[in-house]
A = this chain, B = another copy of it.
């Protein structure tokens, strides 16, 4: 005569409990339960106990859907990065979450693998979930993306790049200036035939190339660039190294668009018995953690990735609180770390 032990075994739908279910159990309306959840003191002490027990017993889980529907406020922030495997973005994300999480916001992460088409789809998806704000990391967008963002009417912050014209607000570094500075540094150290290794030709890489080219030109040196559209990797750095030596045997310096390529190139030299930095100077970009411990220490451009994420989140929160854009473009400092490899 017993009822089934639980709903699962009874073949019922086992739907997750709603406020109504809790209210029915206690014998009040769901409004009362709602009040309890938002501020327990709004209901009488005896009900507080009963409602608390009922919530616990049923295992009530809050449901944001109604709120999102009625107030168009999801308390979720969309974060769009090109890649998750790239350590750089992982650190930016950590910075973002370190601010959003304590503020009660959920981050909705999406990535688009550097494809404009995917970016469009991902932004549409994030907007369809009614995110309250967006942090994106590209500087060029299709017309449709711009329209979507404008229509959505939510604050948008672009990160990584402080040079391209911002939609509303951009926080990043000046990639061209950083690349210029590193190239200058390599030249000062005596390198002359410096080749640039580039992968994934996005805006940031193009700007770095421009910085490198300008520095070479300003010093009366000849530039040479090896590039590909595919993803960068340690192995690609090795390949490029071999290619550079084949094309220009007297190459004495390599500046890479990121540390992955640089590390690959460095190991390729070690395997080939090329002395670093005497015979070949190698520099990277972005300060991969490993660059700071390896032997020899890799020359690299150190960028404030985590702080960039933090700042982006802070400015976004500020705008969600109704404040206007305080500063359209925020340019963060970078640092040239010569290491031991140039």
A residues in contact (CB < 8 Å) with B:
14-17, 58-59, 61-66, 68-69, 72, 74, 76, 84-85, 87, 90-91, 93-94, 97, 106-111, 124-130, 147-148, 150-153, 233-235, 238, 263-264, 267, 270-271, 289-290, 292-295
Contacts and interface: CB of A to CB of B under 8 A. Distances in A.
Contacts of A267: 293-295
B61 A148 contact: yes
B97 A111 contact: yes
> Closest 6 interchain pairs by CB?
A59-B151, A109-B109, A65-B69, A234-B293, A65-B68, A85-B90
A126 B69 CA distance: 17
Given A66-B69, A97-B111, 14 more contacts: A14-B153, A16-B72, A59-B147, A59-B148, A61-B151, A63-B130, A64-B130, A106-B108, A106-B110, A129-B129, A234-B293, A263-B294, A264-B293, A267-B295
B290 A271 contact: no
Contacts of A84: 84, 90, 93-94
A66 B148 CA distance: 20
- Name which of A16, A151, A293 has the most chain B CB atoms within 10 A of its CB: A293
A339 to B, nearest CB: 13
A64 B263 CA distance: 44
A64 B15 contact: no
A128 to B, nearest CB: 5
Number of copies of this chain that the complex holds: 2
A106 B108 CA distance: 9
Given A69-B65, A107-B109, A152-B61, A270 B295 contact: yes
16 contacts: A59-B147, A61-B148, A62-B128, A69-B69, A84-B94, A85-B90, A85-B94, A106-B108, A106-B110, A106-B126, A106-B129, A108-B109, A234-B292, A235-B293, A263-B293, A264-B293
Majority SS at the chain A contact face: helix
A334 B203 CA distance: 39
Contacts of A107: 109-110
Contacts of A76: 129
A237 B295 CA distance: 14
Contacts of A263: 290, 293-294
Contacts of A270: 295
A87 B107 CA distance: 19
Contacts of A68: 65, 68
Nearest to A109: B109
Nearest to A289: B234
A234 B108 CA distance: 29
A294 to B, nearest CB: 6
- Name which of A16, A65, A125, A292 has the most chain B CB atoms within 10 A of its CB: A65
A151 B109 CA distance: 26
Given A90-B90, A238-B293, A264-B293, A64 B129 contact: yes
A64 B78 CA distance: 15
Contacts of A64: 128-130
Contacts of A151: 16-17, 58-59, 61
A8 to B, nearest CB: 8
